[in-house]
Amino acid sequence: MLSDTLHALLVDSRGRVWVGTLSGLNCIEDGRIISYAGAPGLARGAVYALYEGTDGSIFVGTSGGGLSRFRDWRFVTCTTAEGLSDDVINQIVVDDRDDIWMGHPRGVSRIPPQRRAARRAAEHRQERLRGPAPHPAFVAASASLASQQT
């Protein structure tokens, strides 16, 4: 684990246990602990909130890096630069209209499904240009092999 100070826990629909700590995000899957510290696209800092969306996306609220979404082995982050009211996200819930509500030091913000759909379309266009993201276990194994060769 990245830290022994836990802020958030989530068991997702696939049985993975997501752990938000003072130092970042971890996932326990099939008895293995995967640390996502420094993962491309993931906001840095403490993880205060975790939520699984209806499409299986994992939403990650951070202590200053905004809101990250994990889907298809890729993180995408939204911050105040993209329109969030605050980059500290303390709570995440989804209502029956599929609106994402976030609690933060400045109050409460909402992201409606239409706004997320537009962002996903833009992400999809970018993904077609750069190709699919590799599985994190492959990235870790590749990094381990590279360090052994030097």
- Pairwise CA distance, residues 54 & 48, whole Å: 20
Quote the pLDDT of residue 68.
93
Quote the pLDDT of residue 19.
96
- Pairwise CA distance, residues 127 & 91, whole Å: 29
For the whole model, what pTM was predicted? 0.74
Quote the pLDDT of residue 115.
61
Question: Per-block average pLDDT, block size 10, for the chain (150 residues)?
Answer: 81 96 93 90 92 92 93 89 89 88 90 63 49 45 38
- Pairwise CA distance, residues 139 & 142, whole Å: 5
Gyration radius of the chain's alpha carbons: 16
Quote the pLDDT of residue 112.
82
- Pairwise CA distance, residues 62 & 130, whole Å: 27
